[in-house]
Amino acid sequence: MMRKNIGKIMKEELERIKPSEDDEKKIGAVVRDFVLKLNSKLKKYKAEAVMGGSFVKGTTIKKKRYDVDLFVLFKEDEKMLGNSKNFQRAKNQRFLSISDKLEKALKELKVKYSRLPGSRDYFSIDSEVSGIKFKTEIVPVFRIKKSEEARNVTDVSMLHVNYVKNKIRKNPKLPDEIRLAKALCYAQNCYGAESHIKGFSGYCLEILTCYYGSFLNLMKNASKWNQKKIIDPEKHYKNENEIMTEVNEAKLMSPLVLIDPVQMNRNAAAALDNEKYNLFIESARKFLKNPSGKLFEKKEFDPKRFIETAKKKKLSLFEVYAGSERVKEDISGAKLLKLHNVLIGTLKKEEYEIMQEWNFSDQKSVSYFALKSPKVILQKGPPVARAKHAKEFKNRWKKVFVKNGDLYTKREPKDALAVLNLNKKLLRDMGIDSFRVKKIF
């Protein structure tokens, strides 16, 4: 009965999350036409643009705005590499040149694009067809046959694509199984390896679903994961001990170590933090214990409900708007999340009880803080034995007392509005371009 219920729920969710064939055809037609035009300009550079990412693998889930990946494959130029003595200099020149060559081709097409910084610069184009919005990211890479030939992390991207496509050829049901895994993670706020999310990347979920064979098997196994889980899908290593010994320690810090099937020295889940890892495990347990389509429904933040809760609890409510106009959205997100955490830290220093919410979109964020002020703060001073510092503390505070050899005073907490209003220099140093604090009540 339970299995039948789960099967029904998964079928219903697939119908809801799967893009329509019409939408995919419309986007595909526009992208293929663009690829043909781009390739005509890339011939002189002996390069070729090909589709990658979720669209070519058939693992895309329905979104307000779709993401399409194009990889422009450049051929290795052995003459440019030269001998080993000049390799580093030639390599650096080459990294710059293929981005520049791609940009020249885009300029010839006279399309509106953005050049984005990264380990190697890439390009982004916003498009719309029949009301369907999508963003195309165009990444220059070198054509390689194995990961050891990569000169940059992005060069391995097409190997990732081909690995998943090969798995799908053997098991045509996998795309829909992967879609379910992505949809669940998206709804539970643990989808995305960006630094302001620290969740599961799309490729990570594709590997896991391919490894376990289905979404349901992934849920069953994930529900049993412990604090540290190690998975080596292609058995690059003899055992877990060898992985912990041979792989760079910095790549083993995440709670899930997922050895990249095409790059044995890489942990595909390195960006994952403990919070999102545990959230995924808990979601798997909830789904198995009480199967429900609600787990696939993203709970959008409801400001009205938050305000009502703050009123019932008789808390003070503050709203903080901020913006970071970085070129890349994930950099903006990371800076704005850091700001949010700094604000929490300053409030905690003043011993405020905090109920908070943070939302990020389009390089802007809004933070809500519902606060309860402490009646008094016990301010710790220096040890009595440090006479000079003890004297300064006594001069600053009228009433002091000694506890366990240290000086203390009682003081009123700082006003929350003053605490939240960070100084302009600090905001500028953090990469925050706009900032506003508002007290609601």
Tens of pLDDT, residues 375-397: 888 888 999 989 999 898 989 88
CB 112 within 8 A of CB 118: no
156 confidence band (pLDDT: 50, 70, 90): very high
The DSSP letter of residue 148 is G
Cα–Cα dist 377/409, whole Å: 8
Angle between helices 215-222 and 202-212 (to 10 degrees): 90
Length of the chain, in residues: 441
Select the highest-mean-pLDDT range: 112-121, 129-138, 398-407: 129-138
Average pLDDT rounded to a whole number, residues 100-113:
94
Q: Region 11-38: what's the mean pLDDT?
A: 94
CATH 3.30.460.10 fits 19-144, yes or no: yes
pLDDT of 82 = 40
User: What percent of the chain is modeled with pLDDT above 90?
Assistant: 68
Check: CB of residue 305 under 8 Å from CB of residue 326: no
The pTM score is 0.80
Are 303-375+413-439 and 377-411 in the same CATH fold?
yes
**DSSP bridge pairs for 171:** none
Domain ranges of the chain: 19-144, 171-299, 303-375+413-439, 377-411
**One-letter amino acid of 433:** D
User: At a CB cut-off of 8 Å and minimum separation 6, what does 16 contact?
Assistant: 62, 293, 296
Which pLDDT band, with edges at 50, 70 and 90, does 350 fall under?
Answer: confident
Looking at CATH, the fold of the domain delimited by 303-375+413-439 is given as: Alpha-Beta Plaits (3.30.70)
Long-range contacts of 305-308 (CB under 8 A, 24+ apart): 306/357, 306/368, 306/370, 307/440
pLDDT at 77: 60
- Domain spanning 171-299, CATH class: mainly alpha
Q: CATH for 377-411, among 1.10.287, 3.30.70, 2.40.40, 3.40.50?
A: 3.30.70
Query: Do residues 139 and 127 make contact, with C-beta atoms less than 8 angstroms apart?
Result: no
Report the distance separating Cα 134 and Cα 29, nearest Å.
13
Q: Residues 83, 87, 92, 94: is their CA dihedral positive or negative?
A: positive
Retrieve residue 288's tokens: 């198995």
Which residues, 6 or more positions from 46, have their beta carbon under 8 angstroms from its beta carbon? 74, 75
Spatial separation of the C-alpha atoms in residues 372 and 110, rounded to whole Å: 56
Percentage of the residues of the chain whose pLDDT score is greater than 70: 94
* Lateral strand order in the sheet of 400-403: 377-383, 406-411, 400-403
Task: Report the alpha-carbon distance of residue 324 to residue 428 in Å, rounded.
Answer: 10
Q: Considering only 165-169, 234-238, 391-395, which range has the smallest mean pLDDT?
A: 391-395
